[in-house]
Amino acid sequence: MIKSSLKFAACLVATFFAAQASAEDYPSKVITLVVPFAAGGPSDTVARLTAQSMGTILKTQIIVENVGGAGGTLGAARVAQAKPDGYTLLVHHIGHATAPALYRKLAYDPIGDFEPVGLVNDGAMALIARKDFPAKDLKEMIAYAKANKEKMNVANAGVGSASHLCGMLLMSALNTEFVTVPYKGTGPAMNDLLGGQVDFMCDQTTNNASQIKAGKVKAYGMTTAKRVAAFPDIPTLSEAGLPNFTVTVWHAMYAPKGTPQPIVDKLSKALQEALKDATLKQRFADLGSEPVSQERATPQALRAHLKAEIDKWGPIIKKAGVFAD
Ligand code: ASP
């Protein structure tokens, strides 16, 4: 008995020192950052800007791997099952918190299967339509969309994505239903909106800032409580006729459960450093997005935020009665 307890203790000590040693060398090879949406979309943009800056700080290359589909749940599942050694990470958005309520069967536990690294940014969404959509403001847009609801196609990045959540809230606020068209990310959805194959979409400004500024799409309002600094002329949806319609899309970084804490802490420190970078801040601001404060780019802040968002959105989604299998 004493012999086996000694053996167990020795094993624990060895594991501890192995984790310390691997954390000291970390990172000694390329890190893969999984983005659970297609290339060219908002999560991809946020992840690539952050990866570039963190890679310089950590003196290694961070490559982005796009694992799109099923509203971000395929990419998240891939990271939940990855080796917890700090070389496979995830950048996901608010969908990590809405998935438990939206999916009847989820292949992972958003809290239990991950080590939080820190929050990355807060971003606005814009309600946009194809350039020739016959409405000049939100009120006209709503009237037209309701009168033609059988023909209205709303693009999204699949059940559980931020665009899906926003579209669902819109249909619930208007008490109507439109035809939804899912993509592997809103990057490819934007191509179809520009081509006029779909009518409208609610998506992060990180994906549509340049198209809005160039007049290639029509923007009817922002989902934020206050106007977005980069778009002072675009009203909030609340101002434009949908009171209290607010959604902030936040992104955050996670490692698989069991990743040694010293590695998680190293990543979190690098993330905080990256978010101080003036070039990164400017790129985010141009896209209508904001890096989080240093305090929020920490495991503790993300753990608390994720739990609060799961608690906030669960009842709203259940009330709207939307599920995916
Ligand atoms: N913005 C997308 C969404 O609707 C995802 C993406 O392509 O980044 O959640």
Q: Which domains does the chain have, with CATH numbers?
A: 2-123+249-320 (3.40.190.150), 125-240 (3.40.190.10)
Q: pLDDT at residue 164 above 60?
A: yes
Q: For residue 61, count CB atoms less than 10 angstroms from its CB and return exposed for 0-12, middle for 13-18, buried for 19 or more.
A: middle
Ligand 1 atom 7: residue of nearest CA: 185
Gap from CA of 4 to ligand 1 centroid (Å): 51
Gap from CA of 19 to ligand 1 centroid (Å): 35
pLDDT in tens, 70-126: 999 999 999 999 999 999 999 999 999 999 999 988 999 999 999 999 999 999 999
Tokens found for residue 1: 């008995």
Gap from CA of 323 to ligand 1 centroid (Å): 18
Give the integer Cα–Cα distance in Å for 71 and 95.
7
Gap from CA of 162 to ligand 1 centroid (Å): 6
pLDDT computed for residue 303 by the predictor: 98
pLDDT computed for residue 3 by the predictor: 55
Tokens found for residue 152: 């209205």
Is 50 in a helix, a strand, or coil?
helix
pLDDT computed for residue 10 by the predictor: 55
Ligand 1 atom 2: residue of nearest CA: 186
Tokens found for residue 6: 């000694």
Give the integer Cα–Cα distance in Å for 294 and 118.
9
Model-wide pTM > 0.75: yes
- Tell me which residues have their CB closer than 6 angstroms to ligand 1: 37-38, 41-44, 93, 95, 156-157, 161-163, 185-187, 203-204, 207
pLDDT computed for residue 7 by the predictor: 60
Residue 27: asked if its preceding bond is cis (omega within 30°), the reply is yes
Average pLDDT of span 208-217? 94
DSSP secondary structure of 71-122: GGHHHHHHHHTS-SSSSEEEEEETHHHHHHHHBSS-SS-TTTTEEEEEEEEE
